[in-house]
Amino acid sequence: MVVGAGIFKTSPMVAQALPEAGQLYLAWALGGLLSFVGALCFAELAASFPDAGGDYHFLRRAYGHRLGFLFAWSRFAVIHTGSMALLGFVFGDYLGQVVDLSPWLGAHASALLAAGLIVALTGLNLLGVRVGLGTQLGLMTVVIAGLLLLGLGAGARHLAGLPPATQGTATAMPDWGMAMVFVFLAYGGWSDAATLSAEMRDDKRGIVRALLLGLGLVMTLYLLANWAYVRVLGLPGLARSEAPAAELMRLAFGRGAELLMVGVVTLTALSVMNAILIAGPRTTYAAARDIAAEWRLARWNARRGTPSAAVFATSAVALALVALGDVTRGGFATMVDYLSPVYWGFLTLSGAALIVLRRREPEQPRPFRVPLYPWLPLLFSACSAYLLWASLVYVKAGAVVGLAVLAAGAVPLWWFSPARSA
């Protein structure tokens, strides 16, 4: 889920914020290392408290019912659904570079393609989790092959002695806050592996291996991709590029390779959206189950192995957000603005939840423990808080909309909360 369209879309925005290639590499390395620290925290939480709700379950145990339900609402109305809409726009924008659909679909082509993809993936996932996961593995293989092709293209140019397409620096002054918002957007998604913690074959160390080995691979691929961008396009060229992966392949191998890479990027968007439809509805299902077992959203389809009603609801909200992005004409940028502050606010609380639960439930078996406790959890929470601040400074109006939607869910969740009825 992490290896997604972010690496194909956000690298130019990071290059716009940082004036030197060394700073660009450092930003992506820091993003990987800090995500690795976060993964250590989530590995302990998920191994100690396995549940289909993932970090919803951890937050609920640490801070109580109301905050747990507010987080579930944020996943449902802001984070997961906003990510699906964001990736839908990536799919539509890149596909539009290959096939000009504007004569038939007009200015709404990207939004309509995004909506069509969401509907198709919803049907696929309703067939059952085995179909969804099998599809995810196949798509992931294509995505990783595409990233390796970028390195191959850069290596070919290097061996031929060809210089980067542009020279110099991308910007005068570094803006680390803006850069890291986009770096972590590309790394985002690793925490959703915790929603599968209760379904691991190895219930003690399966989630640990999934998080740590997965993120190690992701960081390696991301550093390779950014080296390839800079080696072929140059830092100023990367900062100006709308589709750096496709442009790199055109310079290295020609028009055919450019079209191939556009296909890879559209499949990448499809891959991550599919992963969200596997993980996201499980949080919604778990929250609804805890509020009222008779709710339709609390129903689990045992035959298909999916929370079918939650899948339908997630898709409906994602379609509404695609409509919002189309109306504002912002598309991808609108969705980044919409989800970033809420995402980082709850990750800050999740890091601190590890410390809270260590103190509150010391007798709970912990197959895996975070090293250097409590310093690593504190480091992760502090970094998440900084990114919350940076996203609020950067996104401005979009942050207001996302926070307003979060607040809109707080009032009804207060009344439905088991804590109030108790």
- Tell me: the pLDDT tens digits for 106-152? 778 888 888 988 998 888 777 765 555 676 677 778 878 888 888 88
pLDDT at res. 213: 82
The structure's pTM equals 0.80
Q: Which of 22-36, 131-145, 312-326 has the lowest mean pLDDT?
A: 131-145
For residues 58-80, give the mean pLDDT. 87
Residues 6+ apart with CB under 8 A from 381: 348, 349, 351, 352
For residues 239-253, give the mean pLDDT. 84
421 — pLDDT class (breaks 50, 70, 90)? very low
301: β partners: 306
pLDDT at res. 385: 94
For residues 165-194, give the mean pLDDT. 77
Per-residue pLDDT tens digits for 291-310: 666 666 767 766 666 777 88
* Tokens (6 digits) for 37: 């620290």
CATH fold of 6-421? Amino acid/polyamine transporter I (1.20.1740)
pLDDT at res. 319: 92
pLDDT at res. 135: 67
Q: Which of 85-94, 166-175, 229-238, 387-396 has the lowest mean pLDDT?
A: 166-175
- Residue 11's nearest CA partner among 241, 217, 270 is 241
For residues 27-42, give the mean pLDDT. 89
